[in-house]
Amino acid sequence: MRKLENSELDRKSVIDFKAAEKTPIIVILDDIRSLNNIGSVFRSADAFLIEKIILCGITATPPNKEIHKTALGATETVAWEYCQDVVTAIENTKSQNIKVFAIEQVEKAIFLQDFELNANQQYALVFGNEVFGVNQKAIAICDGCIEIPQLGTKHSLNIAVSAGIVLWDFFKKMRY
């Protein structure tokens, strides 16, 4: 076994990425303070051909050299928009018949491995602030909440790690 060269990875150009069929997922970032986390989410969104990212509240927007450090160009491929208020972003998304789920630890959350996707449904996933999580007002208007099961002492994952786990799970369930 040998490590593949970059030229062997069949990477899409920016033009090819924009033309490719997207995974019908929108990511909504609610008050993410770390520019590295924002960039990492862009990079994961690029990896799984995610349709769009909506940046809300204090979440910084591209172009930004600190976001670029971890996004590595994904801000040029993944569509994004800014909305000041996460509740407005969720309401606008739901008005397009898109099911919105917060990724959060709440009463009656559905564990990620138990969440069953509807093949004909588009989804939006809300990820919250590094300290406070998803805003309670946002949770209240979501169609539900999904929790990543955790068995250790912290019961807390970095937002970029959470996004990577959940996007992979949704991608796998939608595409395979």
Query: 8 lies in a domain?
Result: no
Query: 1 lies in a domain?
Result: no
Query: 29 lies in a domain?
Result: yes
**pLDDT of 170 higher than 90:** yes
Supply the pLDDT for residue 176.
78
The set of residues, in sequence order, having a beta carbon less than 8 Å from that of 3 and lying 6+ positions away, is: none
Query: 2 lies in a domain?
Result: no
Residue 37's CATH number:
3.40.1280.10
The number of folded domains in the chain is 1
Supply the pLDDT for residue 137.
98
Going by DSSP bridges, is the β-strand pair 144-147/110-111 parallel, antiparallel, or unpaired?
parallel
Whole-model pTM: value is: 0.96
Quote the domain boundaries for residue 154: 20-175
Query: 131 lies in a domain?
Result: yes
Supply the pLDDT for residue 110.
98
